[in-house]
Amino acid sequence: MTLTRRLTMIAAVAAALALPLALSGCAASSRVSVSDPQLQGTWHLASASNHGLGIPLAGNSITLRIGDAKHTGGDSPCSSYSATVTGGVGVVYIRAQLDGGTRDDCATTQLNSLEKNYLDALTATRYAKVDEGSLVLSSPQSYLVFVKAAAAPVVALLNSNWRLFALPAQFPSETVGPGLNPVYLRFDGGSGLTISSPCATFAANYQIAGENFAVSGQHVLPGRGTTCTPAQRALAAEAAVLLDGPLLIDVSAAGDGDPATLVVTNLDEDVPVVWRAAN
């Protein structure tokens, strides 16, 4: 057999072997579209930043539902979006696009900006990790923290009432006294909560996953008080403002004559708000 003929046969065999390898490579890439099981589920955005600037959620709810290639996307403040996730915990690539709309069809410019910044940050994602029940998606320019909604709220909080006990030093420190109306936090039997006083009431929805606590959809209800001072109105407002952002929640049992204590910590500000159980 001549050298030329031998080289021709080697090339033909190599080409024949390469074909199934190429086909298996295509099959592998198609399997990648089924996302990492550690990432799957419905996640609620708790905190976000893009290009070093925080993205204010202002009580708006944003979700990310991760399933297979045909069931990945979520809801933004103005519409829904679809997405593809390639990779998993570690290196990940995400592409997202709005469903049947543009980025400028929100009711306000603020919502347009929120939606745009969120989708830009999501698409910039290069790394994913799951940390104590939270999903963190990040890149050199973006940082998104999601929490997963619990199947049912923490039993200890259902239909419970709490009275504001302490705010941090940078906010009004006096929370109880003859000149101030009490401020209450109430969890209903589902996924709703209210922060109320005779001067102001704030209603919202919440999700809890372990110690992670996320509040969304805040809106203000008219207060009943007619003689409220600015300081009294500010007290409930400051407590509500501190629920905007990534939160940790801790409930301690009552003991030694003391009522149970609820501590909600805003991780952005490193600020704890302390509530005591109320009848």
- Within a domain: 33: no
Q: What is the mean pLDDT of the chain?
A: 74
Q: Which two tokens stand for residue 198?
A: 């005779």
Residue 120: the pLDDT is: 94
Q: What is the dihedral of CA 14, 20, 26, 30, to 10 degrees?
A: -160
Q: How far apart are CA 20 and CA 162, in angstroms?
A: 65
Q: Which two tokens stand for residue 91?
A: 């290196």
- Within a domain: 167: yes
How many domains are there within the chain?
2
- CATH number for the domain harbouring residue 200: 2.40.128.270
pLDDT-derived band of residue 100, with 50, 70 and 90 as boundaries? confident
Residue numbers of the domain that contains 228:
155-277
Shared-domain flag, residues 114 and 166: no
Shared-domain flag, residues 87 and 143: yes
Domain boundary residue, one of 121, 148, 175 = 148
Q: How far apart are CA 247 and CA 36, in angstroms?
A: 26
Domain boundary residue, one of 102, 124, 148 = 148
- How does pLDDT run across 62-74, given as a tens digit for each residue? 889 998 767 889 9
Shared-domain flag, residues 56 and 166: no
Q: What are phi and psi of 256, to 5 degrees?
A: 55, 40
Residue 227: the pLDDT is: 63
- How does pLDDT run across 173-191, given as a tens digit for each residue? 444 444 456 888 999 888 8
Domain boundary residue, one of 93, 114, 148 = 148
Q: Which two tokens stand for residue 47?
A: 């905190």
The H or E element containing residue 232 is: helix 230-241
| pLDDT score of 195 more than 80 | yes
Contact 132, 73 (CB under 8 A): no
Contact 77, 63 (CB under 8 A): no
Q: Which two tokens stand for residue 138?
A: 């990040």
Residues in the chain: 279
- Within a domain: 173: yes
Shared-domain flag, residues 217 and 129: no
